[in-house]
Each structure stands twice: as C-alpha cells, then as structure tokens.
Amino acid sequence: MTRDEVRDWLRLAAVPGLGGASQRLLLKAFGLPETIFAASAAALGSVVGEALARRILDRGDAADDALAAGLAWLDEPGNRLLTLADPGYPRSLLDGDDPPPLLYVKGRVELLGRPSLAVVGSRNSTRQGEANAQAFAASLSQRGLTIVSGLALGIDAAAHRGGLDGAGSTIAVIGTGPDRIYPARNAELAREIAERGVIVSEFAVGTPALPANFPRRNRIIAGLARGCLVVEAAERSGSLITARLAAEAGREVFAIPGSIHSPQSKGCHKLIKQGAKLVESAQDVLEELRWETSLAESGGEALSPAPAPGRGVGSGGTGLPEASTESGQESLLPALGRDPCTLDVLVQRTGLTADTLLAMLLPLELEGRIEQLPGGLYQRLA
C-alpha cells in the first residue's frame, strides 16, 4: 500500500461510532476507503445513515491525532498494517462472520497464514495446568502447528512459551492497542514473541485495556486456529467464550480433564459434557486434526501432560518451612494440589525430606483435611 492508502484506512477506522460491520458495508458499497471519502453525504447516508455519513466527512482533531499515532507506529521496524484488501490478510478470518477491517501486526506476519491451534485457559491457573499448557504447546509447535493465545497471565503465557519452543512458534492476540502490553508482567514475554513470533491487535494505537475488548479479541483467537484446546477453566471463564466461538466457526474443541475437586477443572468438564474432545496427550490433538507431520521431523514423541515443576530448594524455589508447624502444615496444602500424589512428588515439589513431610501430613490426616489412599497416595479433601 502507498502512504496515502494507509492514511485512508486509518482515517476510516478512526471515525467515531463507525464499527467494523459499518466499515465493511461501506467497503462493499464503494470499494476502497479513498472512494468512500470521495462519496457524497447522501450516498454515504444511504448505507450507514446520515449521522455516520457526517462523521465520515468531518475531519476532526481526534481523527488527526489517531492518524498521526498510527503512522508513527507503522514507522517502527517490524510493524505492519493488514487490511481486508491486503492479500496477506488471514484467509481464516476473512471466511468468518466478523473479520476486523484492520489488523496491527508486529513480528512474523507469515505466521498468520499457517495452520494453528488456540491454547487457552485460566489466568488463575495451577502449576500443573501451566506445565500441561507449555508441554502441549511445545509438542504441537514442534510438529509445525502455530500456537495462538491471548497473552494473559497463567495458561495463555505458558502456551506462548511452549509455542516458542518449536518451529511453529506463537501468535499473541491482544486486547489493547499494538503499542501497549497488558498485563505488564508479560512485557518480557511480549518482546520475545515480537522477535520470534507475532503480536496482533485489531485495536487502534493507544487503546487501553478495556474490559469489552477481550471478548472481541477471543473471536480472533478462535478464528485464526483450526481448533481450540482449553487447559484449565472455571465455570465462568473467558476461555469458554473462545471455545464457544471456535465451535460456532466449525473448529474442533478440545479439553484436558482434571480433578473433580478443582474449580479450575469445572469449565473443562462442562465442555466435555457438551461434546468437546477429551485429550490426554498432544498426540490426541494431532490425530483428531489429522495432522501428519512425522515424528522424525519433530525429534520425538508427543508429550503427555507434564509433571508440575517443583518449587523446592533444588529447583530454585524457597521451599516450605523445615519445621512441622501449623503454618508449615497450611503451606503444604497448596503443594498437595487437588489430585492424589505420592510422597516422592511432594518431596520434589517442596524440597523437604520424606521424614519431615510425614510429620506434617499426619496432623492434617487426623484433622480430616487430607486422606491417605491405597498405593501410597495422599489426597487433599474438599
């Protein structure tokens, strides 16, 4: 596109109250933005109404500011604007019901046209959930699938990290302007994605993290991907919105089951009841998608859900208190998680000795807060 054509697209997007649906109506009726701005008020009004027609032809200071900010962002290395008329615009979004007129892209734009899988889940994730998300995403990326997620804390961030571990890399679809990163804690991850993957936004430069933006972002995540894998989700999780949008678009929906006692498993179990595919390994996803990349090319077998990373002294964590105090017993409960685990696993997670852990587990068992199961397993009780 020429500089003038870019200006016209940005100017059209900056018209107050002119949403994506109205922009598409105008583009269908008149062609490129240049022709829209050359049309009469009466002609524009016949498509979008008189009020919007007047706004389209009125160049105010706010529109000029938005135009200047957009052009300045595009002047930065690695930044690009994709429009509905661009041959590089993702076909999977074009075929959807609500394709964004503009996509602000930072990084490897070619990833938007490659086969991909959405991996999403809870912001308030467990360590096991994050380990599973990263392991699944890494295995799928190593087989050539690009991992799509929303750059949120928790499962999204773990999925992006896993995606970066393979040739498929990762796409981060954000709910802010392309010049802003939310949450700020993921700033370093976002920089890495911009270098080795790609960041995408439909929102204009300077757009803050407004709550209404994130459900809209989810439709792009669902639209780009061949399927959607939900790793952990509460009953009212935004991840379920992404899964619903994926199903409505004819995509496959997958869910990893969890403990019946875990709130973060309720959403996945709900999806499975509604027909989502229950998966226990990355290979389950590949087979369902009929993805036939050879194991030799990927360098290994599909990964099953990974063991949760330890937080003991040996793994760089702080560990739990060595003394079997009441506070130590309380801090042991999160390490138990919601699923049965062995004493060896607790040793790995906490960095404590087996003798110390046994001394801490006994009072919790007597209090009815945990239960010892056959096979040397311990279960936290709801």
Q: pLDDT confidence of 335, banded at 50, 70, 90?
A: confident
Q: Are residues 153 and 270 in the same domain?
A: yes
What domain count does the chain have? Answer: 3
pLDDT at 259 (0 to 100): 86
Q: Which residues contact 142 (CB under 8 A, 6 or more apart)?
A: 165, 166, 167, 168, 298, 299, 300
From residue 104, how far is each of 70, 82, 91, 146, 226 by CA, in Å?
Answer: 9, 7, 16, 19, 22
Min mean pLDDT across 47-61, 152-166, 203-217, 241-255 is at: 47-61
Rounded Cα–Cα distance for residues 60 and 338 (Å): 57
pLDDT at 317 (0 to 100): 34
On whether residue 45 sits in a domain, the answer given is yes
Q: Are residues 43 and 143 in the same domain?
A: no
29: left (phi over 0), alpha (psi -120 to 50) or beta: alpha
* pLDDT for 321 beyond 60: no
Q: Which two tokens stand for residue 333?
A: 């409960």
* pLDDT for 352 beyond 50: yes
On whether residue 76 sits in a domain, the answer given is no
Q: Which two tokens stand for residue 90?
A: 């993702």
Segment 13-46, tens digit of pLDDT: 999 999 999 999 999 999 999 999 999 999 999 9
Total length of the chain: 382
Average pLDDT over residues 183-189: 97
Q: Are residues 317 and 290 in the same domain?
A: no
Q: Are residues 154 and 285 in the same domain?
A: yes
Prediction pTM value: 0.80
Q: Are residues 294 and 179 in the same domain?
A: yes
Nearest to 251 by CA among 269, 276, 273, 232: 276
**Residue 172 in contact with residue 151, Cβ under 8 Å?**
yes
On whether residue 172 sits in a domain, the answer given is yes
The four Cα atoms 11, 14, 18, 22 give a dihedral, to 10 degrees, of 40
Q: Which residues contact 54 (CB under 8 A, 6 or more apart)?
A: 41
Residue 372 in 3-state DSSP? strand
pLDDT at 59 (0 to 100): 72
Structural domain ending residue among the three candidates 298, 331, 347: 298
Half-sphere exposure of 65 (CA within 13 A, CB side): 6
Full strand arrangement of the beta sheet holding 198-201: 79-83, 102-107, 198-201, 170-173, 146-149, 116-120, 227-230, 252-255, 277-278
Q: Which domain holds residue 274?
A: 109-298
Average pLDDT over residues 234-239: 90
